[in-house]
Amino acid sequence: MTNTDLKALELLFQRPLEPAFTTRDAGKTVLELPDSFYADRYRNDTEEVGNRFSKDVDLKIPIQELASVPNLDFTKKIGPKNQFSLFNNRHREIASELITLFMGAPNLRQFVSLSVYTKDRVNPVLFQYAYAVAIAHRPDTREVPITNISQVFPSNFVEPSVFRDARQEASVIGDSGDRVRVDIARNYTASDREDEQRLAYFREDIGVNSHHWHWHLVYPTTGPMEVVNKDRRGELFYYMHHQILARYNVERFCNNLKKVQPLNNLRVEIPEGYFPKILSSVNNRTYPARVSSQLLRDVDRPDASIEISEVERWRDRVLAAIDQGYVEDPSGNRTPLDEVRGIDILGNMIEASPVLSVNRTFYGNLHNEGHNIISFAHDPDNRHLEEFGVMGDVTTAMRDPIFYRWHGFIDSVFNKFKAHLNPYNDAELNFDGVSVTYIEAKIGKSNTKANTLLTYWQKSSADLAAGLDFGPSANILASFTHLQNAPFTYTFNVTNSGAKRTGTCRIFICPKTDERNQPLRLEEQRLMAIEMDKFTVDLVPGENTIRRQSTESSVAIPFERSFRPVGADYQPKAADELARFRFCGCGWPQHLLLPKGNAQGMLFDLFVMISDYTQDSVQQPNTPNDACSTAYSFCGLKDKLYPDRRTMGYPFDRRLPNANLTELVGAFGNMAKTDLRIVFNDRVIDKA
């Protein structure tokens, strides 16, 4: 790949609404389009338009003619100013066709040309999605960093008045090269009259929402088989969303709220309203709100139609399959829902992926259509010409409290299946001759107490310039306040009474009490166990001390990786540095690795288990290692198998043989637990 190809691809993530011929990279670079690429409205003036934007630039990148010009008529059903939804069947099919087109470009240079040509001819959100999926999956674009969605479409993530401030600031500062700094307000969606507002810092976190978008980008439901059919993708759909629910429920306890009530009845009013106040950048309108006590209704619109009774029928069929222990394909062939593959089959069937579901006609499209019915609750028959609400869009869905109620229901279906399986037995849990004798988690400084961890607010900034269409070319640093935790170190002592061997170290924290301070049963604890980390350890005979930093977690990615500045100035040149720098946006945000805790110090069980690696290991294909493999617990590994043979969530995904957690760790030497206190300090630390 030449540098200019890479550069051109990177630039297409910037300024998604501006035509491809305008300058990018703070006015320094321009793409030189062949005349035939100009959309009709500019075609008579290609020379003048081209000249206007190529003055004073440092770099001009010539774009090659297309060997074959694609017919893009199939995309026209989504107008340029329409919202685009991955949950909408028609939108998904169009996106799938576009991804197939991008994946089929014969070489890199033609892919660049095809992308440039397509960009101004299809809906900009559709383009950015299909384009990012292609970049993430084409073998020749492995080195292209995918710009964080919050930087491509910042208006989906932050309160809109910030953009006015940014433009105002920029016009005052002018071209002085200074950075424009603007503040994103906190707590702008509701007042404290609304109890749910206590969780706004979690739901509206930029890192949380961009992780969710990125996960769905890496695991699409539709598209070419090589893009969709990934190892254990259905199981990962279950597990990643299950962990979100576990974290959200624990976060609720920290804020004296009871756990989420799953939305298992679509015919009663929904007490939680939500007024998102964010703008869609394609049409400059705010996302529609959902008033309190809204009743869901059948959706019958030109762009979507779904009856509640249909969703109920699919739900009952899925539940019946779980109770019967098998699923049936369209020819009546039965596949058992066993301990190993059952959850993966259910994940693909419930989400649902049209290409991977065992029987899409019969088991339907349960999860996606739930998103749709909720997202159109404010205008189900299109009489007000309103688009879908935040639940219709993977970049914004996690902002709304109803997301957790709908996914709470979906999770309860998966948990029903897991509850049918036998509890784990001794052979599945123990690791003979390995015993964990001591565990602690401690903040770095020497004078801190072991097993007392700390959370607080932090003010950080992200560069939003790339997505500010028709805005100033300066860098725009928007600062926002988010939860943060003080980094800490785990230390475990492990005795190995056998020969040298390898284990997998699995770390979880489990809430001990609910919002009323009532102790939780093991069955409740296991469903809310939060995975913190997972890694292999080599155990020598005798005593071993294992140390691990919280920042190394297999679940999370660091803040800097989510919000790196965009543009050539910030890109390292050396290949190894570039590999490390590559944007790997899938992963839980490190700043939310720990739940908030509370001012008095909230008690958790810190749990560690060392399992037998010979039963965990996976024979990987000989594909190149990926530099972004750090957050594999939720995101898997690119072009590889999921690197842990156990079912996801092990050992808490199935019932356990003991009465409580103390008895469990008492019965198995390869497990240990200790009390962990998380103290929240209500102070804002300014990182900038």
Which residues contact ligand CUO by CB under 6 A?
Answer: 212, 216, 241, 367, 371, 394, 397, 407
In whole angstroms, the minimum distance from the beta carbon of 211 to ligand CUO comes to 10
* Distance in angstroms (rounded) separating the CA atoms of residues 435 and 672: 8
Per the annotation, the verdict on 351 as an active-site residue is yes
Which amino acid makes up residue 379?
A: D
Q: Position of tokens 């869905």?
A: 397
Provide the minimum distance between the beta carbon of 243 and ligand CUO in the complex, in angstroms, as a whole number.
12
Q: What angle separates helix 401-420 from helix 342-351, to the nearest 10 degrees?
A: 150
Angle at 391 between CA 629 and CA 227, to 5 degrees: 40
∠53-58-63 over CA atoms, to 5°? 60
Query: Which residue, 409 or 490, has its beta carbon nearer to ligand CUO?
Result: 409
Q: How far is the CB of 244 from ligand CUO (least distance, A)?
A: 8
Closer residue to ligand CUO (CB): 387 or 411: 411
Long-range contacts of 26-30 (CB under 8 A, 24+ apart): 26/465, 26/473, 26/474, 26/475, 26/567, 27/56, 27/57, 27/473, 28/57, 28/58, 28/59, 28/568, 29/57, 29/58, 29/59, 29/60, 29/61, 29/568, 30/54, 30/57, 30/59, 30/60, 30/61
State in Å, rounded, how far the first CA of the chain is from the last one. 36
CB of 679 to ligand CUO, least distance (A): 32
Residue number with CB closer to ligand CUO (241 or 482): 241
CB 629 to ligand CUO: min, Å = 22
Instruction: Find the catalytic residue in 18, 272, 351, 387.
Output: 351
Query: Rounded to the nearest whole angstrom, what is the least distance from the CB of residue 290 to ligand CUO in the complex?
Result: 16
Question: Cβ 371 to ligand CUO, closest distance in Å?
Answer: 6
On whether the CB atoms of residues 340 and 647 are closer than 8 A, the answer is: yes
For ligand CUO, the closer of residues 371 and 482 by Cβ is 371
Helices (H), 551-626: 559-562, 575-581
Q: Give the shortest CB-134-to-ligand CUO separation in angstroms.
A: 21
Cβ(468)–Cβ(27) below 8 Å: no
Please work out, in degrees rounded to the nearest 5, the angle formed at the alpha carbon of residue 483 by the alpha carbons of 482 and 484. 115
CA distances from 648 to 125, 241, 243 (A): 32, 12, 10
Tokens of 279: 């703008």
24 versus 241: smaller Cβ distance to ligand CUO: 241
- Rounded to whole angstroms, the Cα distance separating 369 from 374 reads 8
Whose CA is closest to 654, among 427, 425, 430, 435? Answer: 425
Handedness of CA 158, 159, 162, 163 (dihedral sign): positive
Q: Which is nearer to ligand CUO, 468 or 557 (CB)?
A: 557
Closest approach, Cβ 212 to ligand CUO, in A, equals 6
Q: Is the peptide bond before 136 cis (omega within 30 degrees of 0)?
A: no
> Burial, 269: exposed, middle or buried (Cβ in 10 Å; 0-12, 13-18, 19+)?
exposed
Residue with tokens 């009546």: 332
* Closer residue to ligand CUO in complex, CB, 128/598: 128
Tell me whether residue 290 or residue 367 sits nearer to ligand CUO (CB atom): 367
DSSP 274: B
Cβ nearer to ligand CUO, comparing 397 with 665: 397
CA distance 445 to 492: 18
Residue 652 CB, nearest approach to ligand CUO (Å): 21
DSSP tag of 232:
T
Q: How far apart are CA 430 and CA 436, in angstroms?
A: 12
Structure tokens that stand for 36 in this block:
């035939």
Closest residue to bound ligand CUO by CB:
397
Amino acid (1-letter code) at residue 525: Q
Please, which residue, 30 or 394, has the CB nearer to ligand CUO? 394
- Residues with catalytic annotation? 351
